[in-house]
Amino acid sequence: MQPLKQYWIAEALEKDLGDPTNPNNVMSFKQVIDLDEREEFPHEIIDWLYNWKLQHYYIPTECGGEFTSFDEFIAFVRVLSRRDQTSAIAFTTMFWSYLTWMAGTDEQKRTLSSFMKDANGAMCLAYSEKAHGSDLLASDVRATKVPGGYILNGEKWPINRATISGVTFVLAKTDEAGGARSLSLFMVEKSKIDPANYTHLPKIYTHGIRGSDMSGIRFENCFVPESMRLGAEGVGLELALKGFQITRALCAAFSQGAADTALRTTLKFALGRQLYGKTVFDMPQPKRTLTDAFLDILICDCATIGVARGFNTMPEQISVWSAVVKYFVTTTLETVVQNVSVVLGSRFYMREEHDWGIFQKVLRDNAIISMFDGSTVVNLHALLLQLRQLTKSRARNAGRNQDTLQARLLATFDLTQSLPAFDGKKLELVNRGGDDVLQGLELALTSLSDLKTDSNLNSEVLQQIIQLTQMVQEELKTLDHQITESTFQFGHEQAPEVFDIAKQYCVLHAAASCVYMWLYNRHHLGDFFASGEWLALSLRKLLLTFRPAKALPARLGDEAVSQELVRLYSHNRMFSIVPFQLAQPQQQETTTDATQRLQLQA
């Protein structure tokens, strides 16, 4: 069994869902493609997941469920998403329940927990409005105070699972002149409001996730009791933004599941297809594309897992960290899917060829991840507003409290460390304490230098890791200087150049995450991980954002990485720094078996 406990649920779910290439299994590629073609909601799959009791892992233990940590959560969402993002997203709207776990009364928590566990209940998030998109404060939906509750009026659109859900989290205006405190959040239980006062809007036909219940909801003079308000009146926007910090970071898991399937199905093709007397994988160019895709997945893994664990260890910094992964991981993995499509050749564009056409579905479905839950620009905007403060903190904290910083980094990145309980009250709207991940680069360089005496390490690889980490630090200094010199003003009309700085910040953050992940896990994630070639290659890849190839150390040979990719594929393991076991293909009836049986019958 996998030694890291946080992967046990993912492995168990994988095993029970079975091989996705077996058409008879629930969530098989064939089944999800059929549903997609018919644009049908995946009721049967969702029921299967409820019967498996997966919903318990969306409810924290203190609220009666089994959820303990975000790194466990992202592992099993990857399992769902590698098979079908439509079902994964449909089931995972349940994670909006975190709004209640964070801000609800004991009674609201009990109600929701029982709704999810005992009634197979699901929820949706109704924030967006047709006229206002990302501009939440402009909401036209009104909740007017009346004795005992509110009268809700207005329309939310487009909303995933608006129709097929029993609870709707609605953001509505309760104070016209309240500014940032003009919105309140309601946990509307449809079973307890008058059906005459709300209607569901028609299904929206989408480019990807076609089987989703994409629709909307309209309230007309709908009475909602005061007991359905979450938190105090006027704290709706603050709650919404804190809830986004959680769900945006977790969106990375959807992209990682998709990237795994895109790479796996393409690798299968490349290993099997013969051209010019060799396999496609034997040709240097396709091989490099697939190896680079694997490296990107490993980089994203380090960033995502670090942030997932950061919820427990450093919740005060999540306002920055979640924006980093929502931007960096989703867009990087979108590019991975595009890049490997070139190796799949014409088949990527065909809707039936190759593993039932799962690639074209992944390509369409995955495109939404970087857009919903706050688009790329919205996340970069949330990050860039904090850059000046981060730069100041970095200068102020330089060289101070190194032992506590080291301890926090260890708790976050060492996957064998047990995590403290998550305390949602510690989430901050804006980061005040700095960013440990980039603050710790000096410490990382000292630790790397100490490894020079380790005879198990290839000195050339270690030297590159050190050199490239120094470059990451140099680029951070340049960025800090640019931020200090800029004439930056708060607001929505930011220059494109500031967005570029925010993008670069994300790349540096990801690079530093890879370095810590290696430093703190070299002894327990296997030989491939420990040898560090993947890290040197990944850092070099990330630094290409800043410097031309010829200004970087020469690329190390990547044969070990290519071989690991094929090894993980052959053993049905996740493409990950923690390559946990995936469902094994069913024992096929081999020719030998069949022949033996025929001989016995004769």
Which spans of this chain sit near ligand FAD (rule: CB under 6 A)? 124-128, 133-134, 158-160, 206, 214, 368, 372, 375, 377-378, 381, 492
CA distance 368 to 334: 10
3-state secondary structure 497-558: HHHHHHHHHHHHHHHHHHHHHHHHHCCCCHHHHHHCHHHHHHHHHHHCCCCCHHHCCCCCCC
With CB atoms as reference, the residue minimizing the distance to ligand FAD is 133
Kindly give, in sequence order, each residue whose CB lies less than 8 Å from that of residue 587, ignoring residues fewer than 6 positions away: none
State the minimum distance, in angstroms, from the CB of residue 94 to ligand FAD: 12
CB of residue 123 vs ligand FAD: minimum separation in angstroms?
10
Q: Which is nearer to ligand FAD, 13 or 141 (CB)?
A: 141
Q: Closer to ligand FAD by CB, 80 or 536: give it.
A: 80
Q: CA separation (Å) from 534 to 8, 197, 271, 296, 392?
A: 25, 58, 21, 10, 33
| H-run or E-run covering 403 | helix 402-413
C-alpha 30/C-alpha 21 separation (Å) is 7
Shorter beta-carbon distance to ligand FAD: residue 128 or 261: 128
Shorter beta-carbon distance to ligand FAD: residue 251 or 358: 251
Residue keyed to tokens 């969306």:
58
CB of 266 to ligand FAD, least distance (A): 25
Supply the minimum distance, in Å, between the C-beta of residue 373 and ligand FAD: 7
> Please, what is the minimum distance in Å from the beta carbon of residue 41 to ligand FAD?
14
Which CB atom, from 400 or from 492, has the smaller least distance to ligand FAD? 492
- Residue with smaller CB distance to ligand FAD, 45 or 368: 368
Q: How far apart are the first and last CA of the chain?
A: 43
Cβ-proximal residues to 470 (8 Å cutoff; 6+ apart), any chain: 445
Which lies closer to ligand FAD via its Cβ, residue 133 or residue 179? 133
Distance CA 309, CA 452 (A): 29
- Taking the C-alpha atoms of residue 224 and residue 90, their distance in angstroms, rounded to an integer, is 25
Nearer to ligand FAD, 240 or 451 (CB): 240
What's the full length of the chain, in residues? 602
Of the pair 216, 357, the CB lying nearest ligand FAD is at: 216
Shortest approach of ligand FAD to residue 141 CB, angstroms? 11
Quote the CA–CA distance of 590 and 587 in Å, as a whole number: 8
Nearer to ligand FAD, 134 or 563 (CB): 134
Q: Least distance from C-beta 158 to ligand FAD, angstroms?
A: 5
Please, are residues 21 and 585 in contact by the beta-carbon 8 Å criterion? yes
Strands 123-126, 167-173: pairing is: parallel
Are 291 and 270 in contact by the 8 Å Cβ rule? The answer is no
Residue placing its CB nearer to ligand FAD in the complex, 244 or 281: 244
Strands 198-201 and 142-146: unpaired
Q: Whole-number minimum distance, CB 127 to ligand FAD, in Å?
A: 4
**Three-state secondary structure readout of 22-45:** CCCCCCCHHHHHHHHHHCCCCHHH
CB of 503 to ligand FAD, least distance (A): 13
User: Which C-beta is closer to ligand FAD: that of 77 or that of 583?
Assistant: 77
From 260, 299, 330, select the one nearest 79 (Cα to Cα).
260
Type of residue found at 435: D
Are 311 and 249 within 8 A, CB to CB? yes
Question: How far apart, in whole angstroms, are the C-alpha atoms of residue 531 and residue 457?
Answer: 6
Q: Which residues contact 187 (CB under 8 A, 6 or more apart)?
A: 99, 100, 104, 108, 112, 167, 169, 228, 229, 230
Residue whose C-alpha is closest to residue 139's, from 203, 73, 183, 75: 183
Nearer to ligand FAD, 287 or 381 (CB): 381
Under a CB-based contact definition with an 8 Å cutoff, are residues 52 and 16 in contact?
yes
Radius of gyration, alpha carbons of the chain: 25
